[in-house]
A and B are shown apart, each in its own frame.
Chain A
Amino acid sequence: MKLTPFLLVLPAVGYIVAFSFFPTIDAVYLSFQDPHGGLSLHNYQELSYFNVGGAIVDTVLVTVGALLIQLALGFLVASVLSREFRGKKALSTAAIIPMGVATVVAAITFSFIFQTSGGYANTVVHSILGTNVNWYQSSLSSLLVVMIADSWKNTPIVSLILLAGMSSIPRELYYSAAIDGAGPVRRFIHVTLPNLRSFIGVALILRGVQEFNIFALPLILVGDHPPLLTTLVYNLYTTTFPEVGLALAAATVLLGFILVFMGVVIKLTGGRTT
């Protein structure tokens, strides 16, 4: 094996390791440091005063909820786009547009849609039911607003991955299943889903990690009430600076969740087996 290719790869790998690994290790190490410079769980004990438990629960809720919505919508989009019909090209263009809309812009647009007084969602609800909905009444409904806005922005990428998967399934499998008397639902469960396992896994890893990190969207839509791990980290960072230990402890908790999530998804979807 020649040495040149290795040398060419080195700068990029070095860059990533220097800027990503070391700060991460630094963050974890500093999170265990107490104000006197000794190592302890001091920061983690302090965290319980800042509703870290609630932030963890909210983060898991948003992640699971948003992933379910995106998978469901992604399957809908992919199965529509895997058929031939007039206007297919226009639709696939429309379905990719939210990818180009900045997260901040999506968040602002959805904050106008879900405005408590006035707001386009209430225009619709009012004309049908004659009442108003306060979308931010409970933390669960606030989180739902976050999930919906996030799914608008991110369903396209899930659809693209699922569509790639669907087009890789041989048509004959569907024909023989149909001959055996399987309806659309059973064909979906017994042919589509098992064949898409690794593609669903890719979508879950790609989106799931981002979902745990969801930051700009909730910051604009709900601020830090209810808090997610990321908005909690940011809140602690801006209020306790230069004592960043607390923020880093919350960040370390977030990192832990992401590592566990990646492990679970890789295990469930069979990792790199195709």
Chain B
Amino acid sequence: MKWAYIGAIFVGVYFLLPLYILFLLAFNTPQYTILARYPSFAPISLTLANLASSLQGSSFIDPLVKSLETATLVGIITVILAIPAGYGLSRLPRGVAYPILVLLLVTNMMPAIVIGIPIAVEFIKLHLFETVEGLSLAQTLITLPLATFILQGTFSSIPVDLENQARIDGAGLLRRLFSVLLPLAAPGIAAAFLISWMFSWDEFTYAILLIPFHSTLPVTIYSDVTRGNLLAGVAFSLVFTLPVIALTLALQKYLRGEYLAGGIKG
């Protein structure tokens, strides 16, 4: 029993310490953090001045809006494609649905940097380069297989009898979808949307390849830091992180190993 506590303390410190350091960087005066030879772990001189001065620049609003737009658009495209796919897969025999799911997951493993370069070259011709729409189309590649998988599970858990009853009552596919299936699948759809939103919010590779100049927040943070604008990078990081941590905690019950493991095993 004693070992469990020692392990628990180690694990807790390991996961929380870097976040605490991010907090120190954001709220301590720079002499005690980035300018100190040996920065202190104590919150000596808490101030809001760092955040205020970094967030005042307008360079922050535009990327934030782009990130919000992209993540929302990715969520919408993903759900629109994944709802019919998830439903269709849940009504196909396992022997057919399984290879299709594997195909989707395998393509998910293709390196973004391999796919991103030809797409960038193509997008320049199509005038989709440097646009939120273009980036969203690419990022959907990452989220669609996952969302399809979640929704396949969701629709599978809805009894076929329920649907058959509606069919006997004369409801067509669309009618059944809107009055029976979608309301019952709502929690799964919400989870699929939020997970897609989160993945897009965090995505960096496609963002830096497809929208390099006036980009989303991750790329802006990266360029701030490489230009030596460290405090701004930290301040934006904080703004960038808080909503997603809140979402992660809200989604905790959906982020389960069983789902991920089941995805590969079929």
Task: Check if A19 sits within 8 Å of B111, measured CB to CB.
Answer: no
Q: A99 and B16 in contact (CB under 8 A), knowing A23-B115, A27-B118, A237-B117?
A: no
Task: Check if B14 sits within 8 Å of A73, measured CB to CB.
Answer: yes
Asked if B49 is an interface residue, CB under 8 A from chain A, the answer is no
1/0 per position for B200-214, CB-CB distance to A under 8 A? Answer: 011011001100000
Category for how many chain B residues contact A:
35 or more
Asked if B255 is an interface residue, CB under 8 A from chain A, the answer is yes
Residues of B within 8 A of A98 (CB): 15, 18
Min CB distance A222 to B, Å, is 12
Task: Check if B11 sits within 8 Å of A91, measured CB to CB.
Answer: yes
8 A Cβ contacts from B88-139 to A = 88-89, 91-93, 96, 100, 103-104, 107, 109-115, 117-119, 121-122, 137-138
Comparing B54-62, B158-166, B182-190, B239-247, the segment that makes contact with chain A is B239-247
Task: Check if A112 sits within 8 Å of B117, measured CB to CB.
Answer: no
Tell me what chain B mostly uses at the interface: helix, strand, loop, or mixed: helix
Category for how many chain A residues contact B:
35 or more
Task: Check if A100 sits within 8 Å of B198, measured CB to CB.
Answer: yes
Residues of A within 8 A of B115 (CB): 19-20, 23-24, 27
Please measure, in the bound complex, the distance between the C-alpha atom of A99 and the C-alpha atom of B15, giving whole angstroms. Answer: 10
Task: Check if A11 sits within 8 Å of B37, measured CB to CB.
Answer: no
Asked if A17 is an interface residue, CB under 8 A from chain B, the answer is yes
Asked if B65 is an interface residue, CB under 8 A from chain A, the answer is no
Task: Check if B266 sits within 8 Å of A216, measured CB to CB.
Answer: no
Asked if A103 is an interface residue, CB under 8 A from chain B, the answer is yes
8 A Cβ contacts from B31-50 to A = 33-41
Please measure, in the bound complex, the distance between the C-alpha atom of A206 and the C-alpha atom of B35, giving whole angstroms. Answer: 39
Asked if A152 is an interface residue, CB under 8 A from chain B, the answer is yes
Asked if B81 is an interface residue, CB under 8 A from chain A, the answer is yes
8 A Cβ contacts from A159-194 to B = 159-165
Residues of B within 8 A of A12 (CB): 81-82, 84-85, 104, 144, 148
Min CB distance B2 to A, Å, is 10
Asked if B225 is an interface residue, CB under 8 A from chain A, the answer is yes
1/0 per position for A1-27, CB-CB distance to B under 8 A? Answer: 110111111011101110111011011
Please measure, in the bound complex, the distance between the C-alpha atom of A74 and the C-alpha atom of B137, giving whole angstroms. Answer: 34
Task: Check if B84 sits within 8 Å of A160, measured CB to CB.
Answer: no
8 A Cβ contacts from B5-34 to A = 5, 7-8, 10-12, 14-16, 18-19, 21-22, 25, 33-34
Min CB distance A6 to B, Å, is 7
8 A Cβ contacts from A176-235 to B = 198-199, 201-202, 205-206, 209, 212-213, 215-216, 219-220, 230, 233-234
Min CB distance A119 to B, Å, is 7
Task: Check if B11 sits within 8 Å of A27, measured CB to CB.
Answer: no
Q: Could you say which of B88, B144, B221, B222 contacts A6, with CB atoms under 8 Å apart?
A: B88
Residues of A within 8 A of B103 (CB): 13, 16
1/0 per position for B239-266, CB-CB distance to A under 8 A? Answer: 0110011111100100111101100111
Task: Check if B93 sits within 8 Å of A1, measured CB to CB.
Answer: yes
Q: A100 and B247 in contact (CB under 8 A), knowing A8-B84, A26-B118, A164-B256?
A: yes
Asked if A97 is an interface residue, CB under 8 A from chain B, the answer is yes
Residues of A within 8 A of B201 (CB): 102
Q: Could you say which of B4, B19, B91, B246 contacts A80, with CB atoms under 8 Å apart?
A: B4
Comparing A33-41, A42-50, A134-142, A250-258, the segment that makes contact with chain B is A250-258
Residues of B within 8 A of A110 (CB): 18
Task: Check if B264 sits within 8 Å of A205, measured CB to CB.
Answer: yes
Task: Check if A96 sits within 8 Å of B252, measured CB to CB.
Answer: yes
Q: A102 and B240 in contact (CB under 8 A), knowing A12-B84, A274-B265?
A: yes
**Closest residue to B90 on the A side, CB-wise?**
A5
Please measure, in the bound complex, the distance between the C-alpha atom of A108 and the C-alpha atom of B18, giving whole angstroms. Answer: 10
Asked if A157 is an interface residue, CB under 8 A from chain B, the answer is yes
Task: Check if A101 sits within 8 Å of B82, measured CB to CB.
Answer: no
Please measure, in the bound complex, the distance between the C-alpha atom of A99 and the C-alpha atom of B12, giving whole angstroms. Answer: 14
Task: Check if B84 sits within 8 Å of A9, measured CB to CB.
Answer: yes
What are 17 A-B pairs at a CB distance below 8 A?
A: A6-B92, A17-B107, A19-B137, A21-B107, A23-B119, A30-B118, A83-B4, A101-B19, A101-B244, A102-B240, A111-B225, A118-B37, A123-B38, A152-B14, A164-B257, A248-B118, A255-B110
> Contact residues of A with B, CB < 8 Å?
1-2, 4-9, 11-13, 15-17, 19-21, 23-24, 26-27, 30, 73, 76-77, 79-80, 83, 85, 87-88, 90-91, 93-106, 108-113, 115, 117-120, 122-123, 126-127, 152, 156-157, 159-165, 198-199, 201-202, 205-206, 209, 212-213, 215-216, 219-220, 230, 233-234, 237, 242, 244, 247-248, 251-252, 254-255, 258, 262, 272, 274
